[in-house]
Amino acid sequence: MVQSSAADVDGYLAEVPEERRGALTRLRQLCRAELTGYDEVMAYGMPTYLREGSPEIAFASQKQYVSFYLMRGDVREGFAERLSQQDMGKGCLRFRKAADIDFDLVRDLLRAVATTPGESC
């Protein structure tokens, strides 16, 4: 699944492969717990979290991996050392297997995003 046409995140999670559903559900739970005051929407075919209408976090089940999108350059820079050990594109962490997701790192990134205002890329 590259892009979903699901109307909401519940629908999205119902569509993802069974072997990834638990990990994606956990990502959602972390996002909802840490990103208080954010809006949870479907944007670009994936669950996205907006602060005042601006996307800052998203995640998706891609064909070959699970993606976690961190759209805040300032937070990426602040976590450069920890992120250097990860498979990362310009703004997305890629986890080849759902079991490889570093939920502690994700939680720390979410907390940093939520507690410091900044601009999305």
pTM above 0.75, yes or no: yes
Could you tell me how far CA 68 lies from the centroid of its own chain? 4
Contact 85, 71 (CB under 8 A): no
- 72: β partners: 120
The domain that contains 42 carries what CATH number?
3.90.1150.200
Residue pLDDT, tens place only, 67-117: 999 999 999 999 999 999 899 988 899 999 999 999 999 999 999 999 987
How many Å is the maximal CA-CA distance in the chain?
37
Q: How many domains does the chain have?
A: 1
Residue 44 confidence (pLDDT) above 60 = yes
Short-list 27, 18, 73, 65, CA closest to 47: 27
Task: Tell whether 1 is covered by a domain.
Answer: no
Domain boundaries, position 15: 9-114
Task: Tell whether 22 is covered by a domain.
Answer: yes
Task: Tell whether 38 is covered by a domain.
Answer: yes
Whole-number percent of the chain with pLDDT over 70? 98
Average pLDDT over residues 30-58: 96
